[in-house]
């Protein structure tokens, strides 16, 4: 595991590298190699994430009601949002999984990547304190929070599509950004939604998330 590369990406240097290694160690690898997994760190990281995101929302968006704050927080701390954080730092290149799990692409599973983000939050907390854990959380989620606040009340077409496609069993749903145009301050993105490798629809939006949402909406025929 290249500790320095991860530290550079997440903009945090660990005093105790073991904490970071544990945060990226899945149970399957831990059982095979008699080491500690990220499960306990994830447990604590989940609570820290909820607290910090709640505090940030409370202090930043004073005009939102309790119900609106709850909706925004739920969208921001969900698996879909956290796995995007993991992807942005390429955690899948460093997550340690067991042989069987690795054969099934376990290091790239959404749930495992999301769990690792929560575990890394706890690792930073133990290594550097709450303020630095808070910095990591806000640095990585403030754009998602801004998006969620802007689109409060918007129908979650991605969830609706997922529920419809998985009604008769588990399927692999994937969103891919296939094009982006315009300057950095005014980009337009095009996304594709696929089910088991088959392209269902495309969508265009001013953010990646909005483009994905539009693709899901088109796939639903709405």
Residues serving a catalytic function are 46, 118
Distance, in Å, from the CA atom of 165 to the CA atom of 102, rounded to the nearest integer, reads 26
Distance, in Å, from the CA atom of 22 to the CA atom of 75, rounded to the nearest integer, reads 27
Q: Are strands 188-195 and 173-181 parallel, antiparallel or unpaired?
A: antiparallel
Three-state SS for 180-201 is EECCHHHCEEEEEEEECCEEEE
Distance, in Å, from the CA atom of 13 to the CA atom of 128, rounded to the nearest integer, reads 9
Instruction: Choose among 29, 23, 25, 76: nearest CA to 45.
Output: 23
């Amino acid at each position: 595991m290249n500790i320095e590369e991860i530290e550079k990406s997440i903009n945090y240097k660990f005093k105790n590298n073991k904490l970071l290694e544990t945060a990226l160690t899945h149970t399957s690898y831990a059982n095979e190699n008699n080491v500690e997994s990220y499960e306990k760190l994830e447990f604590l990281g989940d609570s820290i994430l909820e607290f910090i995101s709640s505090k940030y929302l409370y202090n930043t968006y004073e005009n939102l009601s309790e119900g609106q704050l709850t909706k925004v927080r739920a969208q921001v701390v969900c698996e879909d949002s956290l796995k995007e954080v993991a992807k942005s730092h390429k955690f899948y290149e460093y997550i340690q999984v067991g042989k069987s799990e690795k054969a099934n692409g376990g290091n790239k599973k959404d749930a495992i990547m999301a769990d690792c983000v929560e575990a890394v939050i706890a690792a930073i907390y133990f290594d550097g304190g709450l303020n630095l854990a808070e910095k990591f959380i806000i640095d990585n989620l403030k754009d998602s929070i801004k998006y969620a606040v802007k689109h409060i009340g918007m129908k979650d077409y991605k969830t609706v599509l997922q529920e419809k496609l998985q009604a008769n069993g588990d399927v692999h749903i994937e969103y891919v950004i296939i094009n982006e145009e315009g300057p950095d301050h005014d980009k337009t993105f095009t996304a594709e939604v696929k089910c088991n490798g088959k392209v269902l629809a495309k969508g265009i939006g001013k953010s990646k998330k909005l483009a994905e949402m539009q693709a899901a909406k088109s796939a639903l025929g709405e």
